[in-house]
Structure 1
């Protein structure tokens, strides 16, 4: 897992510099400013991840301390709705002094831990079904709907919902129930897209060139992404050689950074990123499988699904397999909140691994050793008789 995270982070620093330097020069800014800030956020994120990994035992999330994290998450969401900063028509950012953060990136972790806590309490018998339902509605569903309606953030809502489904799966809920919840979420997503004008416009990804303006209307962004991908070929134009990042492809350092990776590094570069994400998935699932208890399995498994699900959502949007949702590629895309939140998730996963060390081959042999006590041999006198 650490190798995959390091690979994605280094790839991100290189590509953030490649894409952001053009906009910086055009805007009269220092061309190293954005990549410098990305590196700073990565260092802060690594520190936060190390604290979660080494200093906070994962069983802490089965205590009432979860409600402290939940309260912080809700306060951040409310502040964003009240005094948040509007960027590109979406009020999803909160300015604290000179720092601007996206609270939903951290709130999704808080709501995920709350979901795990509620199910763990139900599974252990501490909550009855009525208390569980009430806690889930108040603790998870209401804040999630508040996030969706106030920030109009379908991407974060979808990623968190997918992670909650993973909690049920790793918690041992029957596959039929998990499947039913997943179908209900898909129906809600379809309804949310079709009922909103600007979201339904994103369905143009199915045929962006037929948007009524020959690909220059709602399909413009998708067509530019296709051009970037196709022009990359097998080995790409070369690092720094992208054409679309010259202010043709919007958000090329964030939402569509995967398109620029393929344009500059080719299909090979795109597959390397995909392999690193799949490595993250496999290692996270192995940690969940070897967790000491159900709580650890739910934490490691759902955090892994949240990370990888967001990665696939970003890459799927870039290649036209999914509608664009504006979610960054973890560890790669430009954005301090996303980078720090991603390292926190890795810290949660590794905190489970830290306390589930596999026994060595010698320890396994020792544990499997069975000593058989035989009955004492009869004495000579008894044999003579």
Structure 2
């Protein structure tokens, strides 16, 4: 066993266990999402003249595609996102999609946040979140280790992070996404080692800006959040129906598929308010189970960030994890009335291809950080194993002349190469009797050292040859004296 509890030659347990825990939690969340999308969307699909399984089939397709994308990212080195063409291609695609939304975007439910590509609606914000967190980690790391020029770093942060975020907020009026992205960015700054005072001042500035940014329909949402019954048939209707769903569910729920609110009473039951349907059908137990799964994602993701091979891995794994789980708790807080409605989907569970694919893509990046950390942890063990194999030398017996009769007068003594005795006398511990094998000699040429045990073995073998010569000479001398 190695020092961190893993079997020799395997990934250490403190790296493998968070990886497996994250994988199990995400798989369970995706499965819960498929089941609940089917339950919550059947009535809506039939009402729209579609098949009862149309929503769940799309959800399953996007889940499979997102899983394949996550697997592809997992097999790649996440450090390619730190610089080079991969980062700029990813950043360029996300920036182009954000720019395209105001031009060719489609208005759905009063918000223009989607564009249609090949018959599928894509919400660029879901992928821009990932890009902005990675860009924040890149800028911070380069400022700390390479640039060390505050003005240049601020320019890079403005162009790569702040400008796309402001554009997203202005053109799409998406405060929910802005809050989620800021959560990831602040976690990156915290893990990147920025002074706590600087992070606190920046956080206060963001809060103050957010308070002044609440205007228009956002102010109406806040007032409705404070008192939904003040306009129970209009702006407060959705919140009140969500409360009804949780109250009907109780502790154990009304049973899977038996929701009443999904019969067109609760708007967006399969997307933004799917957690309300979970609370109604599966009760408090089911809702707590989903919360526990997201807590598991948070814990495992932060453990992966802690064990990352470098600071860039720590920053992006921690930032993406907190952003992913932060969005989940934001959605659940809105459904339960703890926060004003923001329109953000529940990761892995809500119906919607962009949300599912982007969430699984984030998991793939986090898993890539864990995979590289495991490979880095194995490197010292592999080097140690090679050294041990190099030290497995064996004794090679020198060729001896043809055997003679033991009654011959003067040739009965063992034959020892004079050069071997000379090497032994000048400090060669093996006395010419120990020779490495072919593989060992190659390793020896790379600097491997032989253990002391083999040296003593060679010395003992040389001494046995020397004592054998002395005994043979004594026997011959005593025989001549007796004659």
Tell me whether the two structures share a fold, i.e. TM-score over 0.5: yes
Residue 220 of structure 2 is aligned to residue 201 of structure 1:
yes
Q: Matches of 1:249 and 1:273 in 2, distance apart?
A: 20
- Superposition deviation, residue 180 in structure 1: 2.1
Higher relative contact order (CA 8 A, sep 6+): 1
Corresponding position of 1:153 = 174
8 Å CA contact 1:18, 1:240 repeated in 2: yes
1:59 matched residue in structure 2: 79
| Structure 2 equivalent of residue 236 of structure 1 | 253
**1:298 equivalent in structure 2:** 315
Deviation at 1:163, TM superposition (A): 0.5
Counterpart position of 2:138: 117
Given candidates 304, 316, 340, the residue that maps to 1:287 is 304
Per the alignment, residue 123 of structure 2 pairs with: 102
Q: What's the CA shift string for 1:24-55, capped at 9, x where partnerless? A: 1122210011100000000110011111111x
- Kindly state the Cα deviation for residue 184 of structure 1 after the two structures are TM-superposed: 2.0
1:265-276 pair list within 5 angstroms:
265-276=282-293
Q: Work out whether residues 52 and 351 of structure 1, in 8 Å CA contact, stay in contact via their aligned partners in 2.
A: yes
Pair 1:206–1:324, CA change in 2 (3 A): closer
State how far apart, in whole Å, the 1-side matches of 2:278 and 2:208 are: 33
Residue of structure 2 in register with 1:383 after alignment: none
Q: d(CA) in 1 for partners of 2:136 and 2:254?
A: 45
CA contact (8 A) 2:275 2:287 kept: yes
How much does 1:179 deviate? 2.1
Alignment partner, residue 334 of structure 1: 351
Aligned length: 362
In the alignment, the residues of structure 2 paired with residue 301 and residue 346 of structure 1 have an alpha-carbon distance, to the nearest angstrom, of: 11
SS in 2 for 1:334: coil
Cα contact 2:252–2:283 (8 A) shared by 1: yes
Which of 76, 85, 101 aligns to 1:80? It is 101
Larger radius of gyration between Structure 1 and Structure 2: 2
Aligned with 2:373: secondary structure?
Answer: coil
For residues 43-95 of structure 1, what are the alpha-carbon distances to aligned partners after superposition, in whole Å with 9 as ceiling and x for unaligned?
110011111111x2111122133222111111001111111111111110011
Residue in 2 aligned with 1:90? Answer: 111
**Cα offsets for 1:171-219 (capped at 9, x unmatched):** 01122222222222222222222xx2211111135433442x4x22321
Determine which of 275, 279, 286 is the counterpart of 1:262: 279
2: distance between equivalents of 1:134 and 1:359?
A: 37
Residue pairs, 1:370-385, within 5 angstroms: none
Residues 1:247 and 1:50: Cα distance change in structure 2 (over 3 Å): same
SS in structure 2 of the partner of residue 301 of structure 1: helix
Secondary structure at the residue paired with 2:244? helix
Equivalent residue of 2:156, what SS? helix
Calculate the TM-score normalised by the size of structure 1. 0.90
CA distance in 1: counterparts of 2:331 and 2:48, whole angstroms: 27
5+ long unaligned stretches in structure 1? 368-372, 374-385
1:170 aligns with 2:203: no
Q: Deviations over 1:279-334 (max 9, x none)?
A: 00000000001111111100110010110010011001001111110000000000
DSSP 3-state at the match of 1:124: helix
Mapped to 1, the partners of 2:258 and 2:223 lie a distance apart of: 28
SS state at 2:146 partner: coil
Question: Alpha-carbon deviation of 1:359?
Answer: 5.4
Between the aligned partners of 1:202 and 1:70, the Cα distance in structure 2 is 33
CA–CA separation in structure 2 for the residues paired with 1:17 and 1:204: 33
The answer on whether the counterparts of 1:114 and 1:140 sit within 8 Å (CA) in structure 2 is yes
CA distance in 2, matches of 1:333, 1:46: 16
Query: Structure 2 CA distance, aligned partners of 1:139 and 1:41?
Result: 29
Give the CA deviation at 1:247.
0.9
Find the aligned partners of 1:244 and 1:210 in 2 and give their Cα distance. 18
Shift, 1:169, TM fit: 0.7
TM-score, normalised via structure 2 length: 0.72
Shift in Å, 1:125: 2.1
Contact 1:235 1:268 (C-alpha < 8 Å) held by counterparts = yes
Matching of residues 299-378 of structure 1 within 5 Å: 299-357=316-374
User: What is the rounded CA distance, in whole Å, between the counterparts of 2:207 and 2:55 in structure 1?
Assistant: 36
